[in-house]
């Protein structure tokens, strides 16, 4: 089976471009940045024709072919790898387009798969090079799949599509073709390679990373100890971690496929980090100019998000949404635009909710488990939330009540699902709780559970969430108190929150409404899709391994969802995938696993008035790594 029609078309287009590039007339049109041209003239760098692949990815500019030069200034927090990932990332084998509506070629030009979606043959661009000038080849991908993820004791990041060391094997068919064989069918594999979790498969240079493993270097344990590490594994995770971790962006020796490479690394004591042009970058514009246009990217670090905002509205950033897009910040962002020479653009949100509350239906506490698993209890809590109060108080009435349901932009949108149980009705909520037998109260007016203890729901929150999400949580606390249910908000750091989540030591973990669109890629609130499905983490663990100590056998409806998603993964047919996903969503609507509050405002983006090729309407999404799929290398400054 060939890749989807769009991918096949682009594969043919890439082949046509490769043929054109092979002709002297077109090759003569290749151009490069002046600083690189000077290095070529001095004999310090190969010609641009030698540095580019034979079929480079051709990027069609959103506005115009650009000019070389300048520094893209950003503000940030030194440890924020998510920000770096979104600017330097998306060097995946395949990529979503910037509207999140299709998957197309990137480092790879196309693929073939067998009928049962267990074998994928992926075709790489010929002649691509790592930032150090060495060849990018199928061997690099084979190394990552077989020698990194294939290690049973691998302690680093493991992508969700390769859940254990036996999940896949890779084979180099030739230098530019790799065959990946999966132990289980996965019709979503190419789509997953295009998302945030797909970046690492093309980020591990074998020649560099293998020197930190004992099967390739007999002396590595001794070398690790000499460098102050306790083991070669600890050494490896500093030298060659996944792209989620700071050392990935701080190691100047590690080759990369990114448009800019590290020159000044990020650290806790550094005032800034800077990345300079990769002379071997594999993309060109429609005029044959090698990208990126901009010479360097510089992050100036702030102590906190408040300082970031002040720097941003003073014009110290050229392209910024990260950590400044809070509802309360909008007046100052819009109010300083003219004075600081920036414009404000909007990005549609792919999250469907400001705050979702998924009560832990697998709680260790048997009394709470029974209570949280009662759909009527969740419905009563939903009716007790005054969503218009949240909208008016926090957002000036600009958002609307919304359940944890697909957005209108999604093919799975249902108006009924979006609106169910959102009416504010304290009488109904109280009656439902009374009908459940929760009539006894303590001296403070809080209802008592069957064991005589107060209904106390601990919300395990974190400082990482946006202020409006924390504010909404506090308002829900007030609303639920009016029906005799205590919501006790506890603020912890993200690492402790994660530890308590994996230990199943929580009642509810308040979070954003991920999965408004792109639901096949992010279904955490609709089924036990991932470890982020906090309403049913034990069910997710059961789906991964029924014999796990942390597994909880799910009810029939959830088992049906797990089976449907298993069927979805076994087909590459988009229509079948969507039909199966619709069944999963229907079950989610009927069972009402998680409680939503209000929908989101669009994201605001500060854009320097001189910055060009910034697309309109690009969705804000973690899985999309916004804005990376727009091909950030095409940004340029119009200084005329």
The answer to whether residues 517 and 350 touch, using CB atoms and an 8 Å cutoff, is: yes
Higher-confidence position of 23 and 597: 597
pLDDT band at residue 65 under the 50/70/90 scheme: very high
Q: What number is the average pLDDT over the span 260-278? A: 97
Report the distance separating Cα 141 and Cα 124, nearest Å: 10
Q: What number is the average pLDDT over the span 357-366? A: 98
User: What CATH number labels 353-597?
Assistant: 3.10.105.10
Name the helix (H) or strand (E) containing 580.
Answer: helix 574-591
Rounded to the nearest integer, the mean pLDDT of the chain is 94
The position carrying tokens 């691998």 is 154
- For 524, counting Cβ atoms within 10 Å of its Cβ (0-12 exposed, 13-18 middle, 19+ buried), the class is buried
How many residues can be counted in the chain? 640
The answer to whether residues 266 and 246 touch, using CB atoms and an 8 Å cutoff, is: yes
- For 373, counting Cβ atoms within 10 Å of its Cβ (0-12 exposed, 13-18 middle, 19+ buried), the class is middle
Report the distance separating Cα 311 and Cα 319, nearest Å: 12
The position carrying tokens 């290398």 is 633
Distances (CA, A) of 451 to 80, 370, 384: 45, 12, 24
At 309-338, the pLDDT tens digits run 999 999 999 999 999 988 899 999 999 999
Report the distance separating Cα 301 and Cα 329, nearest Å: 19
Q: Which of 166, 252, 161 is nearest to 200 (CA)?
A: 161
Residue 153: the pLDDT is 94
Fold of 62-88+247-348+602-639: D-Maltodextrin-Binding Protein; domain 2 (3.40.190)
Tokens representing 584? 């999963």
Residue 572: the pLDDT is 87
Asked if the bond preceding 292 is cis, omega within 30° of 0, the reply is yes
Q: What is the pTM of this model?
A: 0.88
**At 563, is the secondary structure helix, strand, or coil?**
helix
Give the least confident one: 251-265, 292-306, 375-389, 490-504.
490-504
Tokens representing 232? 């070669």
Instruction: Give the DSSP letter of residue 553.
Output: P
Report the distance separating Cα 132 and Cα 559, nearest Å: 49
Percent of the chain residues past pLDDT 70, beyond the cut: 96
Tokens representing 426? 């304290």
Q: Which of 133, 120, 490 is nearest to 281 (CA)?
A: 133
Residue 333: the pLDDT is 97
Tokens representing 259? 């448009």
pLDDT band at residue 187 under the 50/70/90 scheme: very high
Residue 495: the pLDDT is 84
Residue 463: the pLDDT is 81
Q: What number is the average pLDDT over the span 605-622? A: 96
Residue 494: the pLDDT is 86
| 92-202: CATH architecture | Alpha-Beta Complex (3.90)
Residue 28: the pLDDT is 44
Report the distance separating Cα 504 and Cα 538, nearest Å: 8
Question: End-to-end alpha-carbon separation of the chain, Å?
Answer: 50
Is the predicted pLDDT of residue 579 greater than 70, yes or no?
Answer: yes
pLDDT band at residue 5 under the 50/70/90 scheme: very low
Give the least confident one: 122-136, 153-167, 386-400.
153-167
pLDDT band at residue 4 under the 50/70/90 scheme: very low
Is the predicted pLDDT of residue 40 greater than 70, yes or no?
Answer: yes
Report the distance separating Cα 38 and Cα 570, nearest Å: 52
Backbone CA torsion sign across 8, 9, 10, 13: positive
Domain boundaries, the chain: 62-88+247-348+602-639, 92-202, 353-597
Residue 97: the pLDDT is 95
Q: What number is the average pLDDT over the span 279-294? A: 98
Q: What number is the average pLDDT over the span 375-391? A: 98
Q: Which of 94, 104, 126 is nearest to 17 (CA)?
A: 126
Residue 183: the pLDDT is 96
Is the predicted pLDDT of residue 349 greater than 90, yes or no?
Answer: yes
Q: What DSSP letter does each residue of 373-420 carry, written as one string?
A: T-HHHHHHHHHT--HHHHHHHHHTT-S-B--SS--TTSTT--HHHHHT
């Amino acid at each position: 089976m060939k890749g989807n029609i769009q991918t096949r078309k682009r594969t043919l287009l890439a082949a046509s471009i490769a043929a054109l590039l092979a002709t002297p007339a077109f090759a003569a049109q290749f151009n490069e940045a002046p600083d690189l041209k000077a290095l070529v003239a001095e004999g310090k760098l190969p010609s641009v024709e030698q540095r580019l692949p034979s079929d480079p990815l051709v990027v069609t500019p959103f506005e115009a072919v650009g000019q070389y030069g300048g520094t893209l200034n950003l503000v940030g927090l030194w440890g924020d790898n998510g920000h770096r990932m979104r600017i330097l990332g998306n060097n995946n084998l395949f990529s979503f387009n910037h509207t999140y509506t299709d998957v197309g070629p990137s480092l790879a030009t196309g693929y073939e798969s067998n009928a049962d979606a267990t074998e994928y043959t992926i075709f790489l661009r010929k002649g691509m090079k790592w930032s150090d000038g060495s060849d990018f080849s199928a061997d690099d991908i084979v190394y990552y799949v077989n020698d990194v993820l294939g290690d049973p004791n691998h302690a680093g990041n493991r992508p969700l599509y390769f859940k254990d060391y036996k999940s896949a094997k890779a084979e180099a068919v030739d230098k530019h073709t790799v065959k990946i064989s999966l132990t289980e069918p996965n019709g979503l594999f190419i789509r997953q390679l295009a998302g945030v979790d797909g970046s690492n498969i093309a980020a591990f240079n074998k020649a560099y990373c293998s020197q930190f493993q004992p099967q390739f270097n007999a002396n590595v344990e001794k070398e690790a100890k000499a460098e102050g590490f306790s083991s070669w594994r600890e050494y490896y995770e500093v030298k060659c971690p996944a792209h989620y971790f700071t050392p990935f962006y701080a190691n100047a020796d590690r080759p990369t496929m990114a448009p800019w490479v590290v020159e000044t690394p990020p650290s806790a004591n550094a005032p800034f980090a800077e990345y300079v042009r990769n002379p071997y970058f594999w993309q060109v514009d429609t005029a044959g100019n090698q990208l990126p246009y901009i010479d360097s990217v510089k992050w100036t670090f702030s102590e906190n998000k408040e300082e970031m905002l002040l720097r941003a509205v003073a014009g110290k950033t050229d392209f910024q949404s990260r950590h400044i897009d809070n509802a309360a910040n909008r007046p100052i962002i819009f109010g300083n635009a003219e004075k600081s020479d920036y414009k404000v653009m909007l990005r549609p949100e792919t999250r469907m909710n400001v705050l979702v509350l998924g009560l832990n239906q697998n709680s260790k506490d048997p009394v709470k488990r029974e209570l949280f698993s009662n759909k009527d209890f969740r419905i009563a809590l939903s009716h007790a939330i005054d969503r218009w109060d949240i909208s008016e108080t926090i957002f000036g009435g600009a958002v609307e009540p919304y359940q944890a349901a697909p957005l209108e932009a999604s093919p799975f949108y249902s108006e009924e699902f979006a609106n169910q149980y959102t009416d504010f009705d304290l009488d109904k909520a109280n009656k439902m709780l009374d009908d459940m037998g929760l009539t006894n109260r303590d001296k403070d007016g809080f209802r008592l559970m069957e064991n005589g203890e107060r209904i106390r729901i601990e919300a395990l929150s974190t400082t990482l969430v946006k202020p409006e999400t924390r504010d909404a949580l506090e308002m829900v606390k007030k609303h639920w108190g009016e029906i005799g249910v205590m919501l006790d908000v506890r603020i912890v750091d993200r690492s402790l929150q994660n530890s308590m989540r994996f230990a199943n030591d929580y009642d509810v973990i308040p979070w954003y409404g991920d999965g408004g669109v792109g639901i096949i890629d992010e279904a955490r609130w609709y089924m036990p899709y991932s470890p982020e499905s906090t309403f049913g983490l034990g069910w997710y663990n059961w789906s991964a391994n029924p014999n796990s100590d942390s597994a909880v056998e799910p009810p029939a409806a959830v088992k049906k969802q797990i089976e449907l998603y298993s069927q979805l993964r076994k087909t590459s047919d988009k229509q079948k995938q969507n039909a199966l996903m619709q069944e999963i969503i229907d079950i989610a609507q009927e069972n009402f696993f998680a409680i939503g509050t209000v929908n989101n405002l669009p994201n605001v983006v500060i854009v320097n008035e001189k910055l060009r090729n910034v697309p309109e309407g690009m969705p804000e999404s973690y899985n999309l790594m916004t804005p990376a799929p727009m091909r950030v290398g095409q940004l340029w400054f119009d200084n005329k």
